[in-house]
Structure 1
């Protein structure tokens, strides 16, 4: 069963992935990623764990502020987290977090969608 503490932990870990000081350290990012991590970026590019770790290390900045975190348990060991990035450009974000055998939450999937600018 996913507890309120689990939901808070998932949000905490997502916030870590948005922290430039964490993003700049490849090992810190890698610890948060599931081995089968995949990201569908707002640019249309598909990233795996090695590619995203390298990209974040090279450019650890974040384009805005993360707000409106909404974690929802999908099963005993899966949480869907949605939120928004407010900035230029703004975006909608979604992540799927899974609990591994060590009782640690790791991000398995992430997608960013840019907000319309009209």
Structure 2
């Protein structure tokens, strides 16, 4: 994992991001909800736009196998904003992903996520 700087809040946010790929966390509405901002939005790799309630519904029923995650990077964009990027690989697709985490009321929560399908001809340098 390549972090832009050594920062315990960045480490926490990356860890929280990766927990959202864990099926046990995803299938627990309470555990997932604790990581999502009240104003959460996602532009999914599927092309679907998700809000907080719709993504919690989907994740609670998700039975797919967890993806492989690599090329994780993170950077603090502002005192209360951390940007995380990474790639996921599953049987269905490879996607590059980007997340914005916000610090509100003393808690880091995922505010925005976007997944973009990566075609077979793309290389890591294309990210």
1:79 and 1:62 mapped to 2: Cα distance? 27
User: How far has the Cα of 1:97 moved from its partner?
Assistant: 0.2
Q: Answer whether contact 1:71 1:80 (CA < 8 A) is retained.
A: yes
Is 2:89 the counterpart of 1:86? yes
User: How far has the Cα of 1:64 moved from its partner?
Assistant: 1.9
Instruction: Please report the RMSD computed on the Cα atoms of aligned residues, expressed in angstroms.
Output: 1.6
Residue 100 of structure 2 aligns with which residue? 96
Residue 54 of structure 1 aligns with which residue? 57
Distance 1:7 1:107, change over 3 A: same
Report Cα offsets for 1:18-62 as digits up to 9, x if no partner.
100000011111110000000000111100000000000111434
Matched residue count:
116
Is 2:117 the counterpart of 1:106? no
Using structure 2 for the length normalisation, give the TM-score: 0.85
